[in-house]
Each structure stands twice: as structure tokens, then as C-alpha cells.
Amino acid sequence: MDIDSFWGLIEECRRQAQGPDERLAWLRGELSRRSLAEVVQFQVRLDEVTHEAFTWDLWAAADRIFGGWCSDDGFCYFGLWMVGLGRDAFSRAVADPDSLADAPEVQRLVGRPREMWNDEWPGWESLDYVAMEAYGVLTGVEDDCGDAFYAAVDAEQDDGEASSGPLGQRWDVRREDEAARKLPRLSVLFPL
């Protein structure tokens, strides 16, 4: 599965199903009809694109949306959620994190208490497990396929240099002057 096929599957998932649970069910079903190699490659592509989003500027954008603080795990799930926004929105956000202010999924959160976000929460942890679940369906070892799946993913991944942390320079989104300069629209939409 090349990167265009990966994004095509994500886009089709967006068209076919609403809400995170329905989208995961659709995606799991679709992946379960493909070869083991394609399922593994889906995870490889997912890991590649989420790595692109592993930047301090995007972490600051997540911090802003979450009210001034986003945990390590929360940021990982936020990156997976950004994949679910589709290729165009994801690419814009990687290039310019403040462009998330344009995403309808972000605009729906504005002015609402975070405890009311429910299914609209900007995190999609389960996307990181859907390929493993499909792998389990295909191999018939649904309950304990993790080791075999991740070994297959590791064998497919490029052995390039792994980043030890987010790219770019870390900065504090709670400093209003800096936030207003680097994330002007998100700072207005999500005041601290």
C-alpha cells in the first residue's frame, strides 16, 4: 500500500461512515478484506504520516485546543485524529498548525466545555490499533496477534533515523504574546 492508497482509504472511510466508532468499524472491515501485506503496510504508512506531525508547533496547537496542556499520549492521539481529518487538512496542519482553525471538526469545539466534546474529542487512539485488529481477523489469531503484527510492521519500516523527540523548537503556548504570533486564529478560538 503506497501513500496515495493509504490516504484514499482514509478519505473513503470519511465518506462511508460518521463518528469514530463507525469509521473504525468500516476501516477494520475494509482492511480485513485485503492481504496481510496491505494491512501491515497500512500501519507503516500510518506511522510515517503521524511522524510528520510530531512537531513542537503542532503540539502547541493541541495544547491550545486542550486548554493549555496536552499530555504525551494526548498528543499522539491528536496526531491520529488529524489523520482522520483527511489528507488535505492533515497536510495543511503539518505545514501551518494554525490552519486547524479552519477545520470544521475544530470549529465545532469552539465555545463548548471540553467535557461536552464526547465523540468529537480531537483524539483517535483506536486508529492506531485497527490494522492490528484486521491482521488478527485475517490470521485467525485475534486475541494474541500483537507480537507477530508488530514484527511484520518493523520488518517493513524504513530503517531511517528515528527522531528522539518532536521536530522544531519547543515553546510555551501559555505565553499569550508568542501564541498570538504563532497560532493567531487558534489563540482567538481557544482562549486560555
> Tens of pLDDT along the chain (192 residues)?
999 999 999 999 999 998 899 999 999 999 999 999 999 999 999 999 999 999 999 999 999 999 988 999 999 999 999 999 999 999 999 999 999 999 999 999 999 999 999 889 999 999 999 999 999 999 988 778 888 999 999 999 876 555 678 999 999 999 999 999 999 999 999 999
- Which structural domain range is residue 32 located in? 3-158+166-189
**Structural domain count, the chain:** 1
Question: How far, rounded to the nearest angstrom, does the alpha carbon of residue 79 sit from its chain's CA centroid?
Answer: 3
Assigned C-alpha cell, 79: 496526531
At CA 167, angle to CA 73 and CA 57, rounded to 5?
Answer: 70
> In the chain, which residue ranges form alpha helices assigned H by DSSP?
3-16, 20-32, 36-52, 56-65, 72-84, 87-95, 104-107, 130-139, 146-156, 176-182, 184-189
